[in-house]
Amino acid sequence: MTPGGPPPILFDVYGTLLDTASVARACETVAPGRGAELGALWRARQLEYTWLRSGAGRYVNFQAVTEAALRYAVRASGARVAEDRVSALAGAYLSLDPFPEAAGALTRLRGAGHRCGVLSNGLPEMLLPALRRAGLADLLDPVLSADAVHRYKPHPRVYGLGPRALGCPAGEILFVSANGWDIAGAGWSGYRTFWVNRAGAPDEELDAPPWASGPTLDALAELLGAGDPDGIR
């Protein structure tokens, strides 16, 4: 890792620092009693659309992807939502709840000398307000967006933003995500990875296992704060 000091850390945002399931409250306003179901379908289609568009070279920005996925989820759920309410509902991604340990873990990591930033599919215009509202913005620099390369994770161009911004090879950066596929993508691009495995899922069968994993961001802070026999510090 980084010679002479703690490694910089880049975090995924959606599902890692911010809880995408918290859109359920907004979804309840259009699908009473089914907000969680609608929110989960929305998130699943959002991810699928990023993969399809990135793989096919048919990029549109993350706000457009998010709204398109919501339109599909609304139709599939049978909810009736006027078009002018779709954009308003998509705005729930600007006010996602942070995971309860996020601010504390980031504060501990920064206190230990780690530079903490984010590498996300989100647009800067989506990420910055969401991180500010969650009380995390002042703890994170840089804020890197896939929009800079018009691809989505796990495309290698996206992960390539980290070394350029931080001025060091990917192997000297720790990448943290709660998404197993994102961990694999970062690993393929040379990062050391930590998987926030909140659901206790098995490792993905993608030939890129995480360097380490734990159930929360606190587990990462504890691991790094306790030292690393493999030389991470």
Per-residue pLDDT, 83: 76
Residue 233 is predicted with a pLDDT of: 36
Assign residue 77 the CATH number of its domain: 1.10.150.240
Q: Would you call 12 a catalytic residue per the annotation? A: yes
Burial (Cβ within 10 Å: 0-12, 13-18, ≥19) of residue 61: middle
**Mean pLDDT of all residues in 83-92:** 84
Statement to judge: residues 85 and 176 lie in one domain: no
The domain boundary residue, chosen from 94, 120, 147:
94
Q: What is the pTM of this model?
A: 0.92
pLDDT for residue 82: 76
How many Å apart are CA 192 and CA 173, to the nearest integer?
6
Residues 123 and 198 in one domain: yes
Q: Does position 51 have pLDDT exceeding 70, yes or no?
A: yes
User: In this predicted model, what pLDDT tens digit does every residue of 183-205 receive, in sequence order?
Assistant: 999 999 999 999 999 999 999 99
Residues 136/98, Cβ–Cβ less than 8 Å: yes
Based on the fold, state whether residues 135 and 167 are members of the same structural domain: yes
Could you tell me if 218 and 109 lie in one domain? yes
For the segment 62-79, the average pLDDT, to the nearest whole number, is 92
Say if residue 217 is in the same domain as residue 126.
Answer: yes
CA 96, chain centre distance (Å) = 12
Q: Does residue 3 fall inside a structural domain?
A: no
Share of the chain above pLDDT 90, in %: 82
pLDDT in tens, 166-182: 999 999 999 999 999 99
Tracing tokens 């899922």 back to the chain, one arrives at: 201
pLDDT band with cut points at 50, 70 and 90 for residue 4: low
- pLDDT value for 84: 76
Q: Picking from 24-33, 47-56, 123-132, 216-225, which range would have the lowest pLDDT averaged per residue?
A: 24-33
Could you tell me if 74 and 188 lie in one domain?
Answer: no
Number of structural domains (the chain) is 2
92: pLDDT strictly greater than 90: yes
pLDDT recorded at residue 3? 55
Same domain, 111 and 182: yes
- Does one domain contain both 32 and 126? no
Task: Give the C-alpha separation, 67 to 90, whole Å.
Answer: 6
- 69: containing domain: 21-94
Residues 13 and 127 in one domain: yes
Tokens of 69: 């996925």
Q: How many helices (H) and strands (E) does the chain have?
A: 10, 8
